[in-house]
Chains A and B, each alone.
Chain A
Amino acid sequence: KNQVEQSPQSLIILEGKNCTLQCNYTVSPFSNLRWYKQDTGRGPVSLTIMTFSENTKSNGRYTATLDADTKQSSLHITASQLSDSASYICVVRSNDYKLSFGAGTTVTVRA
């Protein structure tokens, strides 16, 4: 069964600090991995999307990494802002177009 595991489940950081979220997956055959940000009361919004040949991709203060060999990805948030408070969801797509979702990591940024 394809699975996507995210850690930690939640974290609290102070404004201006950095943090890293983890995503481990067992999806096979792998097509691509996406990170989404979901604000409270909103739908998810795409941050990054990477194929197996891409090791890193940035979107502003968000940097995602991918190690297709170990089937691990991380999302690094630099110089966090209050607006970064949200759930971050890791989604892995297999070659047969099926999407597997992680349960998300809830990030709370405090002033």
Chain B
Amino acid sequence: GNSVTQMEGPVTLSEEAFLTINCTYTATGYPSLFWYVQYPGEGLQLLLKATKADDKGSNKGFEATYRKETTSFHLEKGSVQVSDSAVYFCALTLNAGGTSYGKLTFGQGTILTVHP
């Protein structure tokens, strides 16, 4: 089956530090990969995505590269801010049609706290 594994949190950083949150996946087909972010008290928002191998998704200073050879999609940011404190979820969906209907498989989430 399909699965997503994220590095365990919580992650605590000082402002302007470098961030990496690891994500690896297993999939039976050719997945699209996503990072979603959940700010306190809110639902999930799409942060970035990549639909094929070697694609790089980027948004708000965050980046992640789809690495098929290592089945990974690690999230990085060069300089985090206090406002980046949130829960981050890695997820995949299979691109094949049929009955998948774009179902997402999520990792367990990583809590990030950034201190001033």
Q: Do A and B come from one complex?
A: no
A contact residues vs B (CB 8 Å cutoff): none
B contact residues vs A (CB 8 Å cutoff): none
